[in-house]
Amino acid sequence: MSEVISFRLDKDNPREKRALEILKTWCGDGYSVRYILTEALVRLDDSKAALEDQNETLNQVSQLLRKLEDGASPPIVPQEVGSIFRG
């Protein structure tokens, strides 16, 4: 069963005014408000997950750099050893 969601966009608020303009443009291109909001929310969630993955990778790189700065040698993973000899 569908759920009704209702909200207002204030033309005096710059971000909401921009959102309204974007909504009108997409609707003018034939998309429904339902489709636009659904796609926007799903993409927002996907980008949040991607950002979390990037943050985790950056944290790992930062830890490795700190270890290297402290004089530790980087760990060599077996897959990396093969790629070193392949060139």
pLDDT number for residue 37? 94
Say how far apart CA 60 and CA 77 lie, in whole Å. Answer: 15
State pTM to two decimals: 0.55
pLDDT in tens, the chain (87 residues): 889 989 899 999 999 999 999 999 999 999 999 999 999 999 988 888 777 888 888 888 888 788 778 777 766 666 655 555 555
Query: Domain limits of the chain?
Result: 14-86
SS3 49: helix
